[in-house]
Amino acid sequence: MTSADREVINSRHSLDVAYVFREYGRQFLDTHSLCVDQLKAFNAISSCRTSAMGGHLQRCNYCDHQRIAYHSCRNRHCNKCPYTKQLVWIDKLKSNLPVCGYFHMVFTIPSQLHSLFYLNQRIAYNLLFKASSQTLSKVASNPKFLGAQTGAVSVLHTWGQALTYHPHIHMLIPASGRSMDGMDWVKAKRNFFLPVKVLGKVFRALMCSLLEDPINAGKIRLPDGLELATLKAQLYAKNWHVYSKKSLAGPQAVVQYLGKYTHRVAISNSRLVSSKDGKITFRWKDYRTGQADGLLTLDAQEFIARFMRHVLPGGFYKIRYYGLLASSNGKQRLRCFALINKPLPLALLQGLTARQVFKIVMGKDSDACPKCKKGRLMPHTILDPV
């Protein structure tokens, strides 16, 4: 391992994705073609917190102890950079959510759509957001079920535990809603919100309907050899599953729970086990069998290829808000707060710097001198990218 590798590997982990990219990336780039967004993410992650990014030399104002601090890449696909953004997002969201129980739902497309989605990522992901949100609104407003207006925070994920391509939407939904006349706050049953079989059927119908027009207009490219009629027959032959987890209590617990999903990338450094003989081994959980803490070994080239499949199109928003939780429905949300009549948590981290957020959350001052414990590490010399 080179000195450049040693300076960036997180002290908590003996191996990270950036090291894998630097170690095996040149061979990968020689044999694979990446789009602009993928190449940008690859280069950013490879260089994150190294001399290639530049930085500054810090010196203690009490004992002259020195420390080099390299810049972060701030790419949203880097698994070392989004933590502070996640903390600020969680803090802001919990002050905007109605104080009630919540359900966690997952809307997943069948494997027959995977190739089509990967070929048409931007428009297909937008349609997935649209179909899942419309499904929720349609079923929740039905008097047979909740009979109320509700909302959701939706998060797009494209991966499974083995880094396979698996697009799905995580939804955080209030376990209640505003009555259709706007006069009452309607609560769902404690462990039941909406029937998942009905949700699955409505989701299937809406997704197929939304795909049909852009396919006929040539805006969506079908995989080679696949006809629209054949695709529809395949999709309607399958039962579409919507996962629903029982209610969680209160915005504090709920947002902390959702925070695990919002700024997550395809794989965290903590799951990486070893890099040996051109093979990468990592931990994974097989949700089909329930086996946890299993080990999966992939060729390094395959590992990088799987990771790069989950780089989103540039400027694409993977977190969206719908119904009563949408920013455009601020007045309706205020009426909901009035109906619930419970105090909202206050946002504490808005407008703070990353260092200030880290100090509040972790209880540590990142600028405190680790040697003398008395002084502070101050910027001394700017280091240009190498």
| CATH assignment at residue 159 | 3.40.1310
- 63 and 102 assigned to the same domain: no
Q: Which residue has the tokens 């795909």?
A: 211
Q: Which residue has the higher pLDDT, 358 or 59?
A: 59
- On whether residue 303 sits in a domain, the answer given is no
> Can you give the pLDDT at residue 89?
81
Q: What percent of the chain stands above pLDDT 70?
A: 91
Q: Which of 66-70, 173-177, 261-265, 300-304 is the least confident region?
A: 261-265
Q: Helix axis angle, 36-47 relative to 300-308, nearest 10°?
A: 120
- Write the pLDDT tens digit of every residue in 197-240: 999 999 999 999 999 999 999 999 999 999 999 999 999 999 99
Domain with 206, as residue range(s), is 83-266+312-340
> Can you give the pLDDT at residue 2?
39
Q: What percent of the chain stands above pLDDT 90?
A: 52
- 90 and 193 assigned to the same domain: yes
> Can you give the pLDDT at residue 190?
61
> Can you give the pLDDT at residue 248?
64
- 68 and 182 assigned to the same domain: no
> Can you give the pLDDT at residue 184?
85
> Can you give the pLDDT at residue 162?
93
- On whether residue 125 sits in a domain, the answer given is yes
Picking from 305, 265, 304, the residue whose alpha carbon sits closest to that of residue 23 is 304
- 25 and 114 assigned to the same domain: no
**Res. 80 pLDDT band, cuts 50 70 90:** confident
> Can you give the pLDDT at residue 351?
76
- 215 and 90 assigned to the same domain: yes
- 213 and 72 assigned to the same domain: no
- 69 and 97 assigned to the same domain: no
> Can you give the pLDDT at residue 24?
96
- Read off the pLDDT of each residue in 134-153 and give the average, rounded to a whole number: 90
Backbone angles phi, psi at 288, to 5 degrees: -75, -40
- 332 and 189 assigned to the same domain: yes
- Read off the pLDDT of each residue in 287-302 and give the average, rounded to a whole number: 83
For residue 48, count CB atoms less than 10 angstroms from its CB and return exposed for 0-12, middle for 13-18, buried for 19 or more: buried
- Write the pLDDT tens digit of every residue in 250-288: 666 776 776 777 778 889 898 999 999 999 999 998 776
- On whether residue 282 sits in a domain, the answer given is no
- 69 and 112 assigned to the same domain: no
- Signed CA dihedral, 373, 379, 382, 386: sign only: positive
- On whether residue 364 sits in a domain, the answer given is yes
- 127 and 191 assigned to the same domain: yes
**Res. 174 pLDDT band, cuts 50 70 90:** confident
**Res. 79 pLDDT band, cuts 50 70 90:** confident
pLDDT at 185 over 90: no
- 208 and 257 assigned to the same domain: yes
- Write the pLDDT tens digit of every residue in 6-61: 343 333 456 899 999 999 999 999 999 999 999 999 999 999 999 999 999 999 99
- On whether residue 296 sits in a domain, the answer given is no
- On whether residue 345 sits in a domain, the answer given is no
* Mean per-residue pLDDT of the chain: 86
- 216 and 68 assigned to the same domain: no
- On whether residue 239 sits in a domain, the answer given is yes
Domain count, the chain: 2
- Read off the pLDDT of each residue in 185-194 and give the average, rounded to a whole number: 75
- On whether residue 290 sits in a domain, the answer given is no
pLDDT at 4 over 60: no
